[in-house]
């Protein structure tokens, strides 16, 4: 899921393991462990698009990495506190800068949601984030920069346990989303994807964050601190394991009924929630020559996927790209075989990863969420580049997210 959710989950795990011993530092180091696997995104600065996209949610999200990293991190943390590095002014300044950057990134993401939904900048999101930002800066200044930090004492075993649970839960959570997580690397590049929760879901994250913040304000010796933290974990796990899985089962059954009612024969199908919610879901079924795409919302007046868009496969267009080439293998592997191909310009093709669906409930224009351009680079080799970041697609995204938000709030009762 998104970085904020991973940070909150990691912090809660750190608190559950060591909150009674080291207080808020358990949350701090749990948050570090919770976000560590996502540092693999920096591979994009050192490699091409195929390599960096393949590496994300790769080895650093694997069970092997999660089993080995805690031992090294525990040693580094013991050295960090044993040599009093954490009390030096230079380190404090750097740490404050990092946390402020993290906060600004999270605040920007929260305020961008209503913009993407087509409602523009929302004061309901902007004002609370500004107030929280001011409070956060004040807390860093008063309780971190000006305070002589207390001695931190925790056993090596405690640090290992803290980092293990905060890191291990990261790839497990990512498996619930649509991207896919290579938890068996380096032995297999199989991508596990259960597709029960959106990569960003405020209903899942915000209550969890609030309960964690309440716990952080309570003394480590007060039993209520652990209660608030476990209440947050209970909310998170209940939403993830009960509510979302129930929705998934209802959606699957509804999609099967819709396909049967229209006499659509298919080999397999795929369902997943749309962005920022668990109310409106995508469904895509694979036929012999085409895919069948539709959306269903729990607020709709009828329990049916409608309309159903027919998307020709056109897989033969990709025949000129050798299947054993980097580009050919990547496209089939990354999309799990759920892809359509359309001509673009000249010899360039567009391959649309249909697992992420369309921007809207029907096919119109070039409104695929995750399209790739396949072309020959200057070396004469087939290469891949994402095609969802141009101005035209961004404008379509804004309009479609606005329509999606209206459907989440009001459902769809027309054209049934």
Within a domain: 249: no
pLDDT in tens, 309-330: 999 999 999 999 998 899 999 9
Q: Are 374 and 331 in contact (CB under 8 A)?
A: yes
Angle of CA points 137, 142, 143, to nearest 5°: 100
Domain membership flag for residue 253: no
* Confidence band for 204, pLDDT divided at 50, 70 and 90: very high
In a domain, 334, yes or no: yes
pTM, full prediction: 0.91
The CA distances from residue 145 to 40, 88, 148, in Å, are 30, 10, 8
Q: What is the pLDDT of residue 314?
A: 96
Same domain membership, residue 238 and residue 266: no
Residue predicted with more confidence, 118 or 210: 210
Is the same domain home to 226 and 349?
no
Percent of the chain clearing pLDDT 90 (strictly above): 66
| Residue 111: band (very low, low, confident or very high) from pLDDT cuts 50, 70, 90 | confident
198 in a structural domain: yes
Q: Which of residues 196, 213, 242 is at a domain's end? A: 242
Q: What is the pLDDT of residues 283-318, one digit of tens each?
A: 999 999 999 999 999 999 999 998 899 999 999 999
- Per the CB < 8 A criterion, the answer to whether 197 and 237 are in contact is no
- CA–chain centroid gap for 250, Å, is 23
Give the mean model confidence (pLDDT) for residues 334-339: 95
Are 17 and 85 members of one domain? Answer: yes
Domain around 88: 3-242
The fraction of the chain above a pLDDT of 70, given in percent, is: 95
- What is the spatial order of strands in the sheet that 290-297 belongs to? 268-273, 280-286, 290-297, 309-312
Does the pLDDT value for residue 121 go beyond 80? no
Pairwise pLDDT comparison (145 vs 231), residue with the higher score: 231
In a domain, 416, yes or no: no
Q: Among 242, 277, 295, where does a domain finish? A: 242
Same domain, 270 and 303: yes
Please state, rounded to an integer, the average pLDDT across all residues of the chain.
90
Average pLDDT over residues 197-212: 94
38/179 Cα distance (integer angstroms) = 13
Banded pLDDT at 105 (limits 50, 70, 90): confident
Q: Which of 42-56, 96-110, 230-244 has the highest mean pLDDT?
A: 230-244
pLDDT for 337-352, tens place per residue? Answer: 999 999 998 889 999 9
Total count of domains within the chain: 2
Give pLDDT, residue 416: 45
In this predicted structure, what is the pLDDT of residue 412?
86
What's residue 143's pLDDT? 82
pLDDT digits (tens, 9 = 90+) for 393-403: 666 667 777 78
Domain assignment present for 251 = no
Q: 14 and 161, same structural domain? A: yes
Query: What pLDDT score was predicted for residue 102?
Result: 78
């Amino acid at each position: 899921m998104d970085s904020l959710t991973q940070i909150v989950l990691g912090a809660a795990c750190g608190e559950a393991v060591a909150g009674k011993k080291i207080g808020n530092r358990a949350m701090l180091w749990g948050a570090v462990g919770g976000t560590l696997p996502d540092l693999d995104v920096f591979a994009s600065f050192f490699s091409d698009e195929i390599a960096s996209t393949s590496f994300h949610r790769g080895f650093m999200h694997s069970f092997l990495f999660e089993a080995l990293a805690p031992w090294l991190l525990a040693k580094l943390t013991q050295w960090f506190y044993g040599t009093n590095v954490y009390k030096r002014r230079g380190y404090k300044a750097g740490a404050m800068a990092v946390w402020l950057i993290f906060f600004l990134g999270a605040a920007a993401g929260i305020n961008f949601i209503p913009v993407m939904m087509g409602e523009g900048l929302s004061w309901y999101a902007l004002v609370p984030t500004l107030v929280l930002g001011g409070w956060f800066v004040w807390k860093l200044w008063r309780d971190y920069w000006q305070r002589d930090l207390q001695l931190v004492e925790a056993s090596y075993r405690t640090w290992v346990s803290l980092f293990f649970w905060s890191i291990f839960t990261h790839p497990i959570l990512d498996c619930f989303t649509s991207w896919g997580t290579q938890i068996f690397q380096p032995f297999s590049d199989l991508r596990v994807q259960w597709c029960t929760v959106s990569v960003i879901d405020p209903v899942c994250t915000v209550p969890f964050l609030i309960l964690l913040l309440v716990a952080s304000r309570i003394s480590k010796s007060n039993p209520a601190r652990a209660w608030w933290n476990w209440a947050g974990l209970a909310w998170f796990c209940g939403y993830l394991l009960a509510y979302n899985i129930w929705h998934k089962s209802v959606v699957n059954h509804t999609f099967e009924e819709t396909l049967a009612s229209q006499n659509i024969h298919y080999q397999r199908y795929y369902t997943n929630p749309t962005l920022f919610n668990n109310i409106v879901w995508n469904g895509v079924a694979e036929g012999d020559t085409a895919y069948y795409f539709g959306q269903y919302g729990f607020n709709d007046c009828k329990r049916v996927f409608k309309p159903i868009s027919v998307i020709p496969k056109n897989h033969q267009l990709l025949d000129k790209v050798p299947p054993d080439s980097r580009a050919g293998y990547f496209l089939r592997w990354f999309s799990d075989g759920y892809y359509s191909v359309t001509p673009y310009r000249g010899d360039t093709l567009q391959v649309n990863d249909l697992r992420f669906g369309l921007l809207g409930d029907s096919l119109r224009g070039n409104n695929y969420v995750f399209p790739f351009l396949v072309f020959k680079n200057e070396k004469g080799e087939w290469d891949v580049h994402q095609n969802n970041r141009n101005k035209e697609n961004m404008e379509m995204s804004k309009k479609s997210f606005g329509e999606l938000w209206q459907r989440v709030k009001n459902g769809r009762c027309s054209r049934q």
